[in-house]
Structure 1
């Protein structure tokens, strides 16, 4: 029915970084089955890139044992492609996410419209985990600030930092008073890729019932916010 699922066995709790890694991994597996689309992308110097994430944690992520992760394409809009994700254990959804992908021409570094071959080969299910992505700015009273030297192992096959490392940096920048808080939701917007070598500044800002974050090198690379359970 258009949903791609996979059973996974884990021996430990899932961190936010691991959740995002699994979402990216299963998305890549689903796309790998689309041989004609992949050939078209290779022939035309195109690649998928993530623009936005919205992730909500609904249950205890102590998922030791077997659980299921699934994903599906949920729609297209001009240059944006929407995809959904869920982690399920014992018929309960523990985490869900929506993301926006864009297509980039690797030669010109320009965004590309969604080609017809994509809409032909990806079955769309009109089921969205979230109907929108909040608009926000990362600003306010600075609560913490850290620096980070980009590591070679953080670089992916597209020669920029893999998306799930951003969460690791954000959690490192959490003020001490928030370290034990239970995270409810995370939103990330990627504005500009991060390359190696690079020095980053990750800043945490105080917000109403949430924390905002900016990730900057010489450019403004990404912004995010975390909200917490009371």
Structure 2
């Protein structure tokens, strides 16, 4: 189980936390992506090398569960392992642990390799994936999609800024999470903590484009869930998500 697991120690700093003093959901995903990036450098296949070859890893879906969000100044360890791949998808697992080794959060992520010039998915070759040591797969994992909105309760428009764009030349995946949660009001966010996130990326947003973030709240006796969708100006679905709260 420990083979090919990369570990990155980290101390939570103030700008990674929200007004409650806890690590924000977006920054949690950011830290996990940082561990993935660091492993790429450690095994000799950094993002910069891929970019120089005209390629880049792009996330298609995150499945995240949270036991507890760490607080400011808390020391943690982010772990990651590339678990499996096929011709077009690579799958990676992440764990966030406290100093005692307890798992605070875990995430399963699907990636594709993008041709940065054509903006199309390209085949994953052995020279790109072999340094990470994942197991080959013949099939594609069937990950559950987020539930779709039945009605829109809240909505807000956003415009893609220059600083929302990453080195793959599209909106960084974490900004979608922030745009989705930002539609919820302050009191809701202060009083609730996310325990699960299923987010699926459909069509990339680019600099200067506008989008609308929409949300629906589903309340039951045992569970509170928010459904999120981000649409491009032309009505194309860019991203959808389902968040469970406590």
Give the C-alpha shift of residue 177 in structure 1: 7.0
Q: Give the match's secondary structure for 2:177.
A: helix
Partner residue of 1:94 out of 87, 100, 104: 104
Partner residue of 2:181 out of 171, 177, 180: 171
**Structure-1 residue corresponding to 2:228:** 213
CA distance in 1: counterparts of 2:135 and 2:23, whole angstroms? 27
**Structure-2 residue corresponding to 1:6:** 8
TM-score using structure 2 length: 0.82
CA distance in 2: counterparts of 1:43 and 1:64, whole angstroms? 36
**Structure-2 residue corresponding to 1:23:** 32
- Cα distance change on mapping 1:161 and 1:36 into 2, 3 Å: closer
Q: Give the match's secondary structure for 2:134.
A: coil
Partner residue of 1:133 out of 139, 143, 157: 143
Indicate conservation of the 8 Å contact 1:84/1:97, yes or no: yes
What is the root-mean-square deviation in Å for CA atoms of aligned residues? 2.4
Deviations 1:72-92 (A, max 9, x none): 101113311001111100211
Runs of 4+ in structure 1 off by over 4 angstroms are 36-40
- Cα distance change on mapping 1:39 and 1:169 into 2, 3 Å: closer
Matches within 5 A, 1:48-197: 48-62=57-71, 64-89=73-98, 90-124=100-134, 133-174=143-184, 178-179=188-189, 180-197=191-208
The 10-residue stretch of structure 1 (86-95 or 168-177) with the greater mean CA deviation from structure 2: 168-177
CA distance in 2: counterparts of 1:39 and 1:144, whole angstroms? 39
1:225 aligns with 2:242: yes
CA distance in 1: counterparts of 2:26 and 2:63, whole angstroms? 14
Indicate conservation of the 8 Å contact 1:72/1:125, yes or no: no
Indicate conservation of the 8 Å contact 1:140/1:207, yes or no: no
TM-score using structure 1 length: 0.88
Deviations 1:18-38 (A, max 9, x none): 101111111111112343686
Give the C-alpha shift of residue 135 in structure 1: 2.1
Indicate conservation of the 8 Å contact 2:216/2:226, yes or no: yes
Indicate conservation of the 8 Å contact 1:161/1:194, yes or no: yes
- Cα distance change on mapping 1:207 and 1:113 into 2, 3 Å: farther
CA distance in 2: counterparts of 1:52 and 1:190, whole angstroms? 6
- Cα distance change on mapping 1:123 and 1:63 into 2, 3 Å: farther
Q: Give the match's secondary structure for 2:68.
A: coil
Give the C-alpha shift of residue 42 in structure 1: 4.8
User: Structure 1: 5+ residue runs without aligned partners?
Assistant: none
Indicate conservation of the 8 Å contact 1:37/1:118, yes or no: no
Indicate conservation of the 8 Å contact 2:61/2:198, yes or no: yes
Q: How many aligned positions are there?
A: 225
Indicate conservation of the 8 Å contact 1:86/1:93, yes or no: yes
